[in-house]
Amino acid sequence: MIVAEAKPISEILTMVKGLKKVLVLGCKGCVTVCNVGGAKEAGILASSIRIAGRKEGSIVEVGEHTLERQCDPEYIDEVKDLVPLYDAVVSIACGVGPQFLSERYPESRIFPGVNTKFMGGAVAHGIWSERCAGCGSCVIHYFGGLCPIARCSKSLMNGPCGGSSHGKCEISKDVDCIWDMIVRKAMDQGRMQDLLEFRPPKSWTTARDGGPRRMIREELVK
Amino acid sequence: MSDYKAGSNLEKVLKAGQFAFTGECGPPQGANIVKLKEKASHLKGCVDAVNITDNQTAVVRMSSWAASLLVQQEGIEANFQMVCRDRNRLAVQSDVLGVYSHGIRNMLCLSGDHQKFGNHPEAKNVFDIDSIQLINVVKTMRDDGKFMNGQEIDVPPKLFIGAASNPFAEPYEFRVFRLAKKIAAGADFIQTQCIYNMVLFRDFMKRVVDMGLHEKCYILAGVTPMKSVGMAQYMAKQVPGMDVPDSLIKRLKGAPKGKVGEEGIKIAVEQIMEFKEMQGVAGVHLMAIEWEHRVPEIAKLAGMLPRPTF
């Protein structure tokens, strides 16, 4: 899933400063699962803005609503009568949500309420970790099903750098050295020879380096 | 037509079967040419080539190619270092052409310290290619006369290709294989990480020799003399991938007051003497960090002088 974290409330209050009517818009997708942008969080953020607004005497009304998903025009359409009633919308979906809203409602002001972090999952309650860099051409089968592009700090493809220590990355003791995991798994499986092969430079044309991406599946295009 | 791949002094020394001795010099954090030349001057005549580091520890310094040229103007052969952190494949290849055009003949291919360690941690890193891929790029440019995209190069750059090896980083079992990958990718010589744990290094070299890697590539053992107990403790605790045994720290602590540096040099000289006899070791890479002026003394004590000339 896409993992996000709440923006500091002060940052959101700066965005909505001086506005009279604000809508907080949640999403039932990934951000609900990672406890940052669902109906519950929309309610909490709306209350916080309300309280701050009351203190300042500016904001008179903060609405809240949560969509099935904000990455789908069909659901974005659902709020077509609601959005124009507000001076601004704070979307607490991932970065996709506020952009779909901005494109669908060009007259409205749309603000991001979260920082979108990465594609990953929860490794323990309250702890999320990155797994995929979305490079557009998956190669993890060469590395025991583990991704050095996303999970090695240097995206090394031919083995661990000299900074790997006690299974941790040189940048932080909180970051696992993925190459340590790749090598140990290969040794355990008796497949070390897989790692001895030279991996040539990757083509980044399918990654963000190739420009903003778009995918078309002809059979689904109406 | 010579039999040399690049014809650098370092290559000639190694090919002649002489025990090589290389040094290191970090470019200044500024355009202080005087300081750079002063530091490098101590190494002249004492070593076969001088590594010019590339924004080492991710701290911005004068570019390694520019400092390499300045050092070469002083009659000292440079070993131009390049890290993958700061350049994509366009910049990599154009810099290779650039340095070769200006007379650089040695190049050390590195991944580079993560920018988190440096003085611009907010930077975006590149890592378009990794260090082993970089080795292969430089080799392909030299031997096949081709860019990464297969296009012919109009006058290919002929560089003597170096790479680093850290026998002490984990997973330890993989280190000799990573070295083998670097050699297979095209490394002509290897300079190792600073060695302090001689027990582990002897074991590493035994594996290198058993695999016959020393016959495919020249291996230079890395030596950095300890200047103080504080430096040893810092390297033991703070520098990733560094293995500093307690016994070494103890020995430095046991040195008479004001004589710790001398003891550090003594240890370094002892190491060099052992490397000279160690099977598979073709030379020593001396990284006397901000201690360039002590290099002549170390070279003399270790019996490395005079250096061969060609």
User: Residue-wise over A173-203: b if at least 16 C-beta within 10 A, else e?
Assistant: eeebbbbbbbbbebeeeeeeeebeeebebbe
Question: B121 to chain A: nearest residue by CA?
Answer: A171
User: Which of A172, A195, A201 minimises the CB distance to B133?
Assistant: A201
Chain A residues near residue B130 by CB distance under 8 angstroms: 154-158
Can you tell me the distance from the alpha carbon of B84 to that of B129, in angstroms, rounded to the nearest whole number? 6
| Chain A residues within an 8 Å CB radius of B114 | 153-154, 163, 170-171
Helix (H) or strand (E) holding A52: helix A39-56
Check A163 against B132: CB less than 8 A apart. no
pLDDT per position as a tens digit, A158-212 = 999 999 989 999 999 999 999 999 999 999 999 999 999 999 999 999 999 999 9
**A152, A154, A175, best to mutate vs chain B, most B CBs in 10 Å:** A154
pLDDT in tens, A79-91: 999 999 999 999 9
| DSSP SS3 for A44 | helix
* DSSP codes, A95-155: THHHHHHHHH-TTSEEEE-EEEEEEEEEEETTEEEEEE---SS--GGGGTT--HHHHSTT-
Query: How far apart (Å, rounded) are the C-alpha atoms in residues B208 and B215?
Result: 9
With cut-offs at 50, 70 and 90, classify the pLDDT of residue A57.
confident
B contacts of A167 (beta carbons < 8 Å): 170
Q: What is the pLDDT of residue A60?
A: 77
So what's the ipTM on this one?
0.94
Tell me, what's the pLDDT at A222? 81
β-strand partners of B220: B191, B283
Closest Cβ opposite residue A187 in set B131, B136, B173: B173
- B178, B213, B242: which to substitute to probe chain A, counting the most A Cβ within 10 Å? B178
pLDDT of residue B1: 46
| Beta pairing partners, A105 | none
CA distance B74 to chain A (A): 32
Chain A residues with beta carbon closer than 8 angstroms to that of B131: 156, 158, 161
Residue that the structure tokens 């590195």 belong to: B110
A200 with B133: Cβ contact below 8 A: yes
Render each residue's pLDDT in chain B as its tens digit; 310 residues.
479 999 999 999 999 999 999 999 999 999 999 999 999 999 999 999 999 999 999 999 999 999 999 999 999 999 999 999 999 999 999 999 999 999 999 999 999 999 998 999 999 999 999 999 999 999 999 999 999 999 999 999 999 999 999 999 999 999 999 999 999 999 999 999 999 999 999 999 999 999 999 999 999 999 999 999 999 999 999 887 899 999 999 999 999 999 999 999 999 999 999 999 999 999 999 999 999 999 999 999 999 999 999 9
Interface of A with B in 154-193 (CB under 8 A): 154-167, 170-172, 177, 179-180, 183-184, 187, 192
Measure CB to CB from residue B169 to each of A154, A163, A187 and give the nearest one: A163
The token pair that represents B139 in the structure block: 């080799």
Is A183 in contact with B240 (Cβ distance < 8 A)? no
The alpha-carbon gap from A173 to the nearest alpha carbon of chain B, in Å, equals: 11
Distance from CA of A182 to the nearest CA of B (A): 10
pTM of the predicted model, to two decimals?
0.96
Name the one residue in this structure whose structure tokens are 């790749």: A182
Question: Is the pLDDT at A58 greater than 90, yes or no?
Answer: no
pLDDT digits (tens, 9 = 90+) for A89-141: 999 999 999 999 999 999 999 999 999 999 999 999 999 999 999 999 999 99
Provide the residue count of chain A.
222
Residue B81 structure tokens: 């270092």
CA-nearest residue to A149 within chain B is B127
pLDDT at residue B240, as a whole number: 77
